[in-house]
Structure 1
Amino acid sequence: MPFREVSRMDERLEFVMLASVEGANVRQLCRRFGVSPTTGYKWLERWQLDGMVGLQERSRRPQNSPA
């Protein structure tokens, strides 16, 4: 049986689509997708604010130097 390759964006999109359905259990979906509830709710918030762009990988580079 071949492995199914899924991009991060496709997986996040599937998550938010399933979580956006009324009555969806977000914590159960988080367990299914292997992410923490904090991450799941963060994806949902970004989806509601920015749509597809909000689900893209973001830079982790600091905005300024502490020194």
Structure 2
Amino acid sequence: MPWTTRDAMSLKQEFVALARQPGSNKRELCRRFGISPQTAYKWLERYEAQGQSGLQEKSRRPATSPKLTQTALEAQVIALRQAHPAWGGRTISCLL
């Protein structure tokens, strides 16, 4: 018996197609596909809002970072590091 190899996108498409049929049991489909109900409803909501492109994997990178270093300070650190390659972070931090 050969192994069935399918990518995640085709499985998502199949799940959404089956789940959107009238009278479908979404919990049973979740068990069959091996996903949680939260994931299933997330996929269905994304499909309703964005169509086929909503099933694509989304980046998990945060949209903002509250502790991000300001670009001006970053430029100063890089300039000092290039001018004095032997200096470490402690020395550069004390100077700035």
TM-score bin, normalised by smaller chain: over 0.9
Q: Deviations over 1:29-59 (max 9, x none)?
A: 0010000000000000111111110000110
Instruction: Report the equivalent of 1:60.
Output: 60
Q: Which runs of 5+ in 2 are unaligned?
A: 68-96
2:53 partner letter: V
What's the TM-score, normalizing by structure 1?
A: 0.96
Q: Which runs of 4+ in 1 moved over 6 A?
A: none
- CA offsets per residue over residues 10-39 of structure 1, 9 Å max, x none? 000000000000010111100100000000
Matched residues, number: 67
TM-score, normalising length: structure 2: 0.68
Q: CA deviation at 1:66?
A: 2.8
RMSD: 0.6
Q: Which runs of 5+ in 1 are unaligned?
A: none
Structure number with larger C-alpha Rg: 2
1:20 is matched with which residue? 20
